[in-house]
Structure 1
Amino acid sequence: MPLFVSEKDLIPGSAAVELHSGNMKTLFVYGNEANMMVATRYAGYHSKPHRHVPEQLNYVVEGELWIFIEEEGYLVKKNDFLRIPGNLLHWAWNRGSGPCTMVQVHAPVLAPESRVGTFGLFDEGETPNVRKSPPSESVDADVSAVERRVLAKHGITI
């Protein structure tokens, strides 16, 4: 495995969490301490609540997406950043008409063996020593009241 890879050489993956609806495409690379994922969530994407050990940093490249963390919600748009602290319950909903593409960084590495198309960026002869976390844990929780309350603050009824 090299230190470099082109997007055209990666195998796209999909959501590794349970979904209410929609779909997403992911490109996932990792090193010893962190991973980077480019995630495109298509219109209608709505994940179920989940949590994971890694802290997650997000940057929106295109589109917009509602991200809910515990009892709060954030509408992130192009050029916005958002941090999700480790182990907090969170989920996302693309209520728009187009895709939302985000760059996401997780540290430590978010269970690369549980995803399709992951690619380790390691030099020839390097012995990887990946600090992995367990996969995301889906949580069976009815979060519709949180969504209604947060969206109502923004004049949106569902």
Structure 2
Amino acid sequence: MEQTIFDHMEPVRGITEKSIKNIPEEMADIIPEGFNNSIRWNFGHIAFVQEKLVFGLTGEEMMVPKNYERFFGAGSKPADWTGYPPSFMEIASVLAGQKSRIKTYLHGRLDQKLPSPYTNRSGITFYTAGEAFLFGFYHEAMHMETIKQIYRSILNKG
């Protein structure tokens, strides 16, 4: 089952990686009416949250740049940014690098208990590394749908 889970990560993350390469960066920071965040924020948020779910919650060092939490953490938004956010190229590199690090780190550890249970903003409590990691698939898909909606909104307005 573990291999099946890791194999499933490939197409899920593959969709995200393909999308960040295909969306023009000049659309990255547009926030259409009805949305709270930008395309750049959503891609960065996917990277940051997956890092937190797999590495942060298990007590391992998170390898995303330190400024990712400030730019892309839960509750952050582009309107509050100071300084320049990471480029699409940098975010794409973080997203691509996570796959192999996750597979290596979580191999044989999906049932490993977290140092302490973690309850996310939706009220879901994770007890194991595998539970947190699997939630990442849902989270990533949800934000990819938002990215698609923002992108369509920008195209339709232009």
Interval of TM-score (by shorter of Structure 1 and Structure 2) = under 0.3
